[in-house]
A and B are shown apart, each in its own frame.
Chain A
Amino acid sequence: MTSLLLLIPCALLLGAIGLAAFLWALRSGQFEDLDGAANRILFDDPPAKETHHDEAR
Chain B
Amino acid sequence: MTPPAPAKAAAPDPCRHCGLPLPSGRSDGFCCPGCTLAYQLIQQSGLGAFYQRLTLSAGQRRLQPEIREHRHLGLSVIAEGKDRCGLSLMVDGLHCPACVWLIERVLAQQPDMLAARVNFSTGRLRLCWQGTPERADSLVGLVESLGFRLVPFDPAKLRDATDEVGSELMRCLAVAGFATGNVMLLSVSVWAGHAGSMGAATRDLLHWLSALIAMPAILYAGRPFFRSAWRALAHRRSNMDVPISVGVLLTTAMSLSETVRHGPYAYFDSAVTLLFFLLIGRVLDHRARGRTRAVAAHLLSLGAAGATRLTGLGQAETVPVGALKAGDHLLVAAGEKLPADGDVVQGNSDVDGSPVTGESIPLAAAPGSHLFAGMVNLTAPLTLCVGAAGDDTLLAEMLRLMEAAESGRARYRQLADRLTRLYSPLVHSAALMTFGYWLVLGEVAWQVALLRAVAVLIVTCPCAMGLAIPAVQVVVSARLLKRGILLKSATALERLADIDQVVFDKTGTLTTGQPRLLTEPKPDAANLCLAAGLARSSRHPLARALAQACRLAPVITDVEEIPGCGLLAGGTRLGSRAWLGLPEDGRTDAELWLAVAGQTPRRFAFGEDLRPDAAGVVARLAGNGTGVALLSGDRPAAVAIAAQACGIQDWQGGLDPTAKLRRVAALQRQGRIVLMVGDGLNDAAALAAADVSMSPASATDIAQTAADVVFQGARLAPVADLLDIARQARRVVRQNLALALGYNLVAVPLAVTGIVSPPIAAALMSSSSIIVVLNALRLMRPYQEGAL
Asked whether A23 and B97 contact (CB < 8 A) given A18-B178, A51-B115, the answer is: no
Chain B, Cβ-Cβ closest to A12 = B182
Q: Are B128 and A55 in contact (CB under 8 A)?
A: yes
Q: Are A19 and B178 in contact (CB under 8 A)?
A: yes
Chain B neighbourhood of A18, CB < 8 A = 178
Q: Are B117 and A39 in contact (CB under 8 A)?
A: no
Q: Are A49 and B113 in contact (CB under 8 A)?
A: yes
Contact with A along B75-107 (1 / 0, CB 8 A): 000000000000000000000110011001100
Q: Which of A16-57 contact B (CB under 8 A)?
A: 16, 18-19, 22-23, 26-27, 31-36, 39-40, 42-43, 45, 47-49, 51, 55-57
Question: Looking at the complex, which of B63-71, B169-177, B227-235 is the stretch in contact with chain A?
Answer: B169-177
Chain B nearest CB, measured from A34 CB (Å): 6
Q: Are A26 and B171 in contact (CB under 8 A)?
A: yes
Interchain CA distance A38-B591 in the complex, whole Å: 52
Which residues of B pack against A, CB within 8 Å? 96-97, 100-101, 104-105, 108-109, 113-115, 117-122, 126, 128, 167, 170-171, 174-175, 177-178, 181-182, 185-186, 199, 202, 205, 209, 213
Q: Can you identify 11 A-B contacts, CB atoms within 8 angstroms? A: A15-B181, A26-B170, A31-B170, A33-B119, A33-B120, A35-B121, A39-B96, A48-B108, A49-B108, A55-B114, A57-B119
Q: Are B171 and A23 in contact (CB under 8 A)?
A: yes
Chain A, Cβ-Cβ closest to B127 = A56
Q: Are A8 and B113 in contact (CB under 8 A)?
A: no
Contacting residue for B118 out of A36, A42, A47, CB 8 A: A36
Interchain CA distance A49-B213 in the complex, whole Å: 45
Asked whether A11 and B185 contact (CB < 8 A) given A1-B202, A55-B115, the answer is: yes
Chain A nearest CB, measured from B60 CB (Å): 14
User: Given A40-B97, A42-B97, A47-B104, 14 more contacts at CB 8 Å?
Assistant: A15-B181, A18-B178, A19-B178, A22-B174, A33-B119, A35-B121, A36-B100, A39-B120, A43-B97, A47-B108, A48-B105, A49-B108, A49-B113, A55-B114
Q: Are B126 and A4 in contact (CB under 8 A)?
A: no
Interface residue count for A (Cβ, 8 Å)?
31
**Chain B CB within 10 A, most for which of A8, A23, A27, A56:** A56
Chain A neighbourhood of B177, CB < 8 A = 19
Chain B neighbourhood of A36, CB < 8 A = 97, 100, 118-121
Chain A nearest CB, measured from B425 CB (Å): 38
Chain A nearest CB, measured from B121 CB (Å): 5
Interchain CA distance A56-B113 in the complex, whole Å: 12
Chain B neighbourhood of A55, CB < 8 A = 114-115, 128
Contacting residue for A26 out of B113, B119, B174, B186, CB 8 A: B174
Contacting residue for B202 out of A4, A22, A43, CB 8 A: A4
Chain A nearest CB, measured from B523 CB (Å): 48
Q: Are A26 and B167 in contact (CB under 8 A)?
A: yes
Chain A neighbourhood of B205, CB < 8 A = 4
Interchain CA distance A26-B163 in the complex, whole Å: 11
Chain A neighbourhood of B109, CB < 8 A = 48
**Chain B CB within 10 A, most for which of A8, A18, A36:** A36
Interchain CA distance A36-B213 in the complex, whole Å: 36
**Chain A CB within 10 A, most for which of B109, B119, B170:** B119
Q: Are A56 and B101 in contact (CB under 8 A)?
A: no
Chain B, Cβ-Cβ closest to A36 = B120
Chain A neighbourhood of B100, CB < 8 A = 36, 39-40
Chain B neighbourhood of A26, CB < 8 A = 167, 170-171, 174
Q: Are A49 and B182 in contact (CB under 8 A)?
A: no
Chain A nearest CB, measured from B185 CB (Å): 7
Chain A neighbourhood of B108, CB < 8 A = 47-49
Chain A neighbourhood of B128, CB < 8 A = 51, 55
Chain B, Cβ-Cβ closest to A5 = B205
Interchain CA distance A56-B155 in the complex, whole Å: 12
Chain B nearest CB, measured from A49 CB (Å): 5
Q: Are B115 and A56 in contact (CB under 8 A)?
A: yes
Chain B neighbourhood of A1, CB < 8 A = 199, 202
Which residues of A pack against B, CB within 8 Å? 1, 4, 8, 11-12, 15-16, 18-19, 22-23, 26-27, 31-36, 39-40, 42-43, 45, 47-49, 51, 55-57
Interchain CA distance A12-B122 in the complex, whole Å: 36
Q: Are B126 and A57 in contact (CB under 8 A)?
A: yes
Chain B nearest CB, measured from A20 CB (Å): 10
Asked whether A16 and B114 contact (CB < 8 A) given A4-B202, A26-B171, A34-B121, the answer is: no
Chain A, Cβ-Cβ closest to B202 = A1
Q: Are A15 and B167 in contact (CB under 8 A)?
A: no
Chain A neighbourhood of B181, CB < 8 A = 15
Chain B, Cβ-Cβ closest to A1 = B202
Interchain CA distance A18-B122 in the complex, whole Å: 27
Interchain CA distance A26-B166 in the complex, whole Å: 11
Contacting residue for A56 out of B117, B167, B171, CB 8 A: B117
Chain B neighbourhood of A39, CB < 8 A = 96-97, 100, 120
Q: Are A49 and B115 in contact (CB under 8 A)?
A: yes
Q: Are B122 and A51 in contact (CB under 8 A)?
A: no
Chain B neighbourhood of A27, CB < 8 A = 167
Interchain CA distance A45-B170 in the complex, whole Å: 34
Asked whether A32 and B119 contact (CB < 8 A) given A12-B213, A19-B178, A43-B101, the answer is: yes
Q: Are B114 and A19 in contact (CB under 8 A)?
A: no
Contacting residue for B178 out of A15, A31, A40, A47, CB 8 A: A15
Q: Are A11 and B182 in contact (CB under 8 A)?
A: yes
Contacting residue for B174 out of A4, A23, A43, CB 8 A: A23
Interchain CA distance A33-B115 in the complex, whole Å: 16
Interchain CA distance A5-B181 in the complex, whole Å: 18
Chain B neighbourhood of A11, CB < 8 A = 182, 185
Chain B neighbourhood of A34, CB < 8 A = 121
Interchain CA distance A8-B121 in the complex, whole Å: 40
Interchain CA distance A35-B481 in the complex, whole Å: 14
Contacting residue for A51 out of B114, B119, B171, B199, CB 8 A: B114
Chain B, Cβ-Cβ closest to A56 = B117
Q: Are A15 and B182 in contact (CB under 8 A)?
A: yes
Interchain CA distance A38-B212 in the complex, whole Å: 38
Chain A nearest CB, measured from B481 CB (Å): 12
Interchain CA distance A12-B120 in the complex, whole Å: 36
Interchain CA distance A40-B118 in the complex, whole Å: 10
Interchain CA distance A45-B105 in the complex, whole Å: 10
Q: Are B122 and A33 in contact (CB under 8 A)?
A: yes
Chain B nearest CB, measured from A55 CB (Å): 5
Chain B nearest CB, measured from A36 CB (Å): 3
Chain A neighbourhood of B120, CB < 8 A = 33, 35-36, 39
Chain A nearest CB, measured from B220 CB (Å): 11
**Chain A CB within 10 A, most for which of B113, B174, B199:** B174
Interchain CA distance A48-B131 in the complex, whole Å: 19
Chain A nearest CB, measured from B433 CB (Å): 40
Chain B neighbourhood of A12, CB < 8 A = 182, 213
Chain B, Cβ-Cβ closest to A32 = B119
Interchain CA distance A15-B97 in the complex, whole Å: 35
Chain A nearest CB, measured from B192 CB (Å): 13
Q: Are A19 and B185 in contact (CB under 8 A)?
A: no
Chain A nearest CB, measured from B125 CB (Å): 10
Interchain CA distance A4-B198 in the complex, whole Å: 13
Chain A nearest CB, measured from B272 CB (Å): 13
Asked whether A19 and B105 contact (CB < 8 A) given A8-B209, A35-B120, the answer is: no
Chain A neighbourhood of B118, CB < 8 A = 36
Chain A, Cβ-Cβ closest to B186 = A8
| 9 closest residue pairs by CB, A with B | A36-B120, A39-B97, A56-B117, A48-B108, A51-B115, A19-B178, A33-B119, A35-B121, A35-B120
